[in-house]
């Protein structure tokens, strides 16, 4: 019974965050269409509900009710497994992210975080790596040339950008000295100047570019390049299996925005936090404002993802691979060297100078 | 302490390492303040996610019309009659990229524990890792020069 009580906050947070992630992904599709519409000087969805707000629900219901087609030439088991892996992996990452600070309810204090792993950053990267399998298996199982090419393109793009992403994170880890998301966020307490993007501007830039590539978002959306590959790796998919692939993309976008905000933009810290605490505002309220601030940062990044998608044209494949291997990796290594040099000068007594 | 000796400090979950210069390094173990119980929420999340995915797959299988025709079940290749199997050899470049990724990603993984203990490892760690990254860079330059990553 005690054990269950210990995990009750975690279970509640997991279920609530599951719902919020779903709603965020659902309304990202709406947001994307609206942002695209305004950038192209048109209205976007505006028929279903006030301002088109019910559009994502209508889309979801449509996905459910569509005919499920599994091509005869495909491998049936892997065909179903592909989108399942993509969706499950997309939903798995949120569990280690710190959504807020300490919260007190019924005399019990707990963190607004399902679990604070001391290998949190590593866990996120591990799960993100597995999600490549979803795309690869799905594309291969379809037994369609477009799907196979889309899947191969997508997976080699994702693994190429994972290297620079890992290297940019290593420079950040040298500064923070921990892999726990909560500790990294707490270290950024005390104003915007303490946020990590000040200390690691180059690292943040690399991470941002890699996040675009990892999510298969424009300008890196060669995997589903319509003019060349029909629909890319999900050409053969229909019904909710297609829905899962598309949904996973939006959830990944939400999660990578959350990771970016936590690692580089202070997470649930906000300017004026200490001022409000001094004024005697209840700690719970400060936590809630912090969580709201965190979600504002996430929404800003999601908006940024969309803004870029509808502004910048798609790369050519050789340009994409050259950027990943010949530009970003050397820049990331340079960033690592600069960070090491600065850290050695700052903490010279650790290095015997 | 003797060279190569490792001492476990039970109090704060760290180990002391004595290297060839008789200097002693303190390393914190990953289990610093984590127990296996901290991983239970991950299992809960997995069951929730997998249950949702599986359940939705199961339900949508029974919803929706089922009007399967022979043409509908064929691979869609822009309306042109599909020729042969899609599972045939493809450009070796992709394979090379995958192999190089495995090589470099393992090296990047090795850098994680070093980066976390960067300040504790001091000058010895710095020199060791400098050599390690120099080797990595050497291999990387070789790969670039040999044209393994040239996309035409």
Contacting residues of A for B85, CB less than 8 Å apart:
73, 143
- In which order are the strands placed within the sheet that holds B14-18? B6-9, B14-18, B24-28
pLDDT in tens, B61-81: 888 787 777 777 777 776 677
Are B118 and A340 a contacting pair at CB < 8 A?
A: yes
Q: What are the DSSP calls for A59-108, one per residue?
A: HHHHHHHSPP---TTS-HHHHHHHHHHHHHHHHHGGGGS--EEEEEETTE
| pTM across the whole model | 0.86
Q: How far apart are CA B113 and CA A177, in angstroms?
A: 9
pLDDT in tens, A108-144: 777 777 788 888 888 888 888 888 888 889 888 888 8
Q: What are the DSSP calls for A277-314, one per residue?
A: HHTT--HHHHHHHHHHHHHHHHHHHHHHHHHHHTTSPP
Q: How far apart are CA A101 and CA A124, in angstroms?
A: 20
Of A65, A152, A318, the CB nearest to B152: A318
pLDDT above 90 covers what percent of chain B? 1
| pLDDT of amino acid A206 | 92
Helix (H) or strand (E) run with residue B14 in it: strand B14-18
Are B34 and A163 a contacting pair at CB < 8 A?
A: no
Structure-block tokens of residue A184: 């990294």
Q: How far apart are CA A298 and CA A259, in angstroms?
A: 9
Q: Which of residues 302-321 of A touch B (CB under 8 A)?
A: 317-318, 321
Are A84 and B48 a contacting pair at CB < 8 A?
A: no
Contacting residues of B for A213, CB less than 8 Å apart:
none
pLDDT in tens, A49-60: 888 888 888 888
Tell me which DSSP letter residue B81 carries.
Answer: P
B69-99: b (≥16 Cβ within 10 Å) or e: eeeeeebbbeeeebeeebeeeeeebbeebee
Answer for the pair A250, A89: CB distance below 8 angstroms, yes or no: no
* Residue from B45, B57, B152 to probe the interface with A (highest A Cβ count within 10 Å): B45
Are B54 and A69 a contacting pair at CB < 8 A?
A: no
pLDDT in tens, A309-334: 888 888 888 888 888 888 888 899 89
pLDDT, averaged across chain B: 77
Are B105 and A115 a contacting pair at CB < 8 A?
A: no
Backbone angles phi and psi of A91, in degrees to 5: -80, -15
Q: Which of residues 33-62 of B touch A (CB under 8 A)?
A: 33-34, 37-42, 44-46, 48-50, 52-54, 56-57, 59-61
Contacting residues of A for B73, CB less than 8 Å apart:
69-72
Q: How far apart are CA B63 and CA A289, in angstroms?
A: 42
Of B34, B41, B52, the CB nearest to A95: B41
Q: What ipTM does this complex have?
A: 0.84
What are the extents of the domains in chain A?
2-350
The chain A residue lying nearest B23, using CA atoms, is: A352
Are A119 and B42 a contacting pair at CB < 8 A?
A: no
pLDDT higher than threshold 70 for residue B32: no
Nearest-CA distance B63 → chain A (Å): 6
* Residue from B32, B68, B76, B120 to probe the interface with A (highest A Cβ count within 10 Å): B76
Q: How far apart are CA A184 and CA B142, in angstroms?
A: 36
pLDDT band at A298 (very low <50, low <70, confident <90, very high): very high
Q: How far apart are CA A270 and CA A194, in angstroms?
A: 11
Are B53 and A88 a contacting pair at CB < 8 A?
A: yes
pLDDT in tens, A147-201: 888 888 888 888 888 888 888 999 898 888 888 888 888 888 877 788 888 888 8
């Amino acid at each position: 019974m005690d054990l269950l009580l210990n995990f009750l906050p975690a279970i509640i947070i997991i279920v609530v965050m599951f719902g919020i992630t779903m709603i965020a992904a659902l309304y990202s599709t709406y947001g994307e269409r609206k942002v695209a519409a305004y950038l192209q000087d048109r209205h976007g969805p505006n028929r279903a509900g006030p301002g088109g707000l019910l559009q994502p629900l209508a889309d979801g219901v449509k996905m459910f009710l569509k005919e499920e087609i599994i091509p005869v030439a495909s491998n049936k088991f892997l065909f179903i497994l592909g989108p399942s892996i993509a969706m499950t992996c997309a939903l798995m990452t949120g569990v280690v992210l710190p959504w807020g600070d300490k919260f007190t309810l019924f005399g019990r204090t707990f963190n607004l975080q399902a679990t604070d792993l001391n290998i949190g950053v590593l866990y996120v990267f591990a799960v993100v790596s597995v999600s490549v399998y979803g795309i690869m298996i799905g594309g291969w199982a379809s037994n369609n040339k477009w799907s196979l090419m889309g899947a191969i393109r997508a997976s080699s793009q994702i693994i190429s950008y994972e290297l620079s992403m890992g290297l940019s994170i290593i420079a950040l880890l040298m500064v923070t000295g921990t892999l726990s998301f909560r500790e990294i966020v707490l270290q950024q307490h005390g104003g915007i100047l303490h946020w990590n993007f000040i200390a690691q501007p180059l690292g943040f830039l690399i991470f941002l570019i890699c996040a675009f590539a990892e999510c298969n978002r424009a300008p890196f959306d060669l995997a589903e390049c319509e003019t060349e590959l029909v629909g890319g790796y999900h050409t053969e998919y229909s019904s909710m299996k297609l829905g899962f692939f598309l949904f996973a993309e939006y959830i990944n976008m939400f999660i990578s925005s959350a990771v970016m905000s936590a690692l580089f933009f202070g997470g649930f810290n906000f300017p004026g936090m200490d001022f409000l605490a001094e004024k005697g505002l209840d700690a719970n309220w400060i936590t809630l404002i912090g969580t709201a601030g965190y979600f504002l940062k996430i929404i800003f990044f999601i908006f940024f993802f969309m803004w870029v998608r509808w502004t910048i044209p798609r790369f050519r494949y050789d340009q994409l691979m050259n950027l990943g291997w010949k530009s970003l990796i050397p820049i990331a290594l340079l960033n690592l060297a600069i960070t090491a040099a600065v850290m050695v000068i700052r903490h010279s007594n650790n290095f015997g100078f | 302490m003797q060279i190569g000796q490792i001492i476990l400090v039970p109090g704060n979950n760290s180990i002391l390492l004595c290297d060839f210069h008789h200097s002693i390094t303190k390393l914190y173990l990953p289990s610093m303040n984590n127990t296996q119980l901290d991983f239970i929420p991950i299992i809960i999340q997995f069951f929730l996610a997998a249950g949702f995915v599986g359940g939705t797959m199961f339900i949508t299988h029974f919803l929706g019309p089922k009007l399967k025709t022979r043409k509908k079940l064929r691979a869609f290749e822009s309306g042109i009659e599909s020729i042969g199997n899609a599972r045939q050899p493809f450009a070796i470049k992709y394979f090379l990229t995958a192999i190089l990724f495995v090589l470099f990603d393992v090296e990047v993984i090795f850098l994680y524990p070093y980066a976390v203990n960067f300040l504790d490892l001091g000058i010895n760690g710095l020199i060791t890792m400098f050599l390690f990254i120099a080797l990595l860079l050497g291999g990387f330059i070789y790969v670039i020069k040999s044209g393994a990553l040239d996309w035409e």
